[in-house]
């Protein structure tokens, strides 16, 4: 079951904050976040495991709400380099290596 990402697209000015959501109708074991620049391969950002932990590095963090089966990616004080399409990939079972990706959220940061 493909997770649903929202919003589909966001346009921000440099320095503004953004939240991207990834929701599933199935129970999840983990959520993986990636960023893809135009014409390039996706780059891994972070994994969230069930248990509701929050992770982050620099000004990008994420949380996983097990009750809602939803993960949120937070981009604080956005920089021009944050532009790209963000994908969440989900795993339903521990040990399963296959990921199911959402449709992506296109983030545009303007100066």
Distances (CA, A) of 73 to 54, 65, 85, 90: 10, 12, 12, 14
Closest CB to another protein among residues 37, 77: 37
**Least distance to another protein from the beta carbon of 47, Å?**
6
User: In terms of CB distance, is 11 or 77 closer to another protein?
Assistant: 11
Query: Is the CB of 12 or the CB of 47 nearer to another protein?
Result: 47
Residues binding another protein (CB under 8 A) = 2, 32, 40-44, 47, 87, 89, 95, 97-104
Residue 62, classified by CB atoms within 10 Å of its CB into exposed (0-12), middle (13-18) or buried (19+), is buried
């Amino acid at each position: 079951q493909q997770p649903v990402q929202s919003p589909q697209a966001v346009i921000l000015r440099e320095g503004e904050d953004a939240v991207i959501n990834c929701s599933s109708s199935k129970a999840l074991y983990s959520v993986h976040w990636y960023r893809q620049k135009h014409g390039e391969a996706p780059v891994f950002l972070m994994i969230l495991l069930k248990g509701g932990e929050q992770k982050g590095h620099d000004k990008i963090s994420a949380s996983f709400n097990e009750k809602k089966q939803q993960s949120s990616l937070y981009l604080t004080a956005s920089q021009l380099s944050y532009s790209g399409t963000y994908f969440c990939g989900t795993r339903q079972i521990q040990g399963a290596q296959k990921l199911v990706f959402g449709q992506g959220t296109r983030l545009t940061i303007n100066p």
